[in-house]
Amino acid sequence: MKALSEAEWNIMESLWEDSPKVGSQITADMAVRTGWSRSTTLTMLKRMSEKGLIACENNGRMRTYIPLIERETAVKKETESFLKRVYHGSISMLVSGFVEKQRLSQEELAELREILDKAEEERYE
């Protein structure tokens, strides 16, 4: 799977929140989220269907759309791409960059410690 464009993310988020959806529901949602016209949304739906990102079923006069990719899969791909592109694959640089720019709460620090502890345990299993 290739990384989703920002426009594709908008439509996928709509479908991940609630699907299946008919084209008119997605068109209305995209008008609110992005200000897109009906034709822009329909063009995007056609392209995304051709790319295998979503499925389109004809139900008489209406077309119904469902996502073919799970949100978790897309998030993982986007995260990997971001990490490689911005931090040259270094997770420690990523975390350091965030920690230096933001003050973490005790809860966030505890979550990070838990994640690191779990990663360390799995490494030695």
pLDDT of residue 121: 87
Q: Given pLDDT bands bounded at 50, 70 and 90, which one contains residue 3? A: confident
Expressed as residue numbers, the domain containing 117 is: 71-123
Position 89 pLDDT exceeds 80: yes
H helical segments located in the chain = 6-17, 23-33, 38-50, 71-87, 91-101, 106-123
Q: What is the CATH number of the domain that holds 94?
A: 1.10.4040
- Residue 69 φ then ψ, to 5°: -120, 135
18 alpha-carbon distance from chain centroid: 14
Quick one: which of 68, 78, 75 has its CA closest to 45?
68
Same-domain check for residues 55 and 93: no
Same domain, 63 and 110: no
Residue 58 clears pLDDT 80, i.e. is over it: yes
Residue 118 structure tokens: 């779990």
The answer, yes or no, to whether residue 94 has pLDDT greater than 80, is yes
Percent of all residues in the chain with a pLDDT value above 90, rounded to a whole number: 68
Q: What's the rounded Cα separation, in Å, for the pair 93 and 87?
A: 6
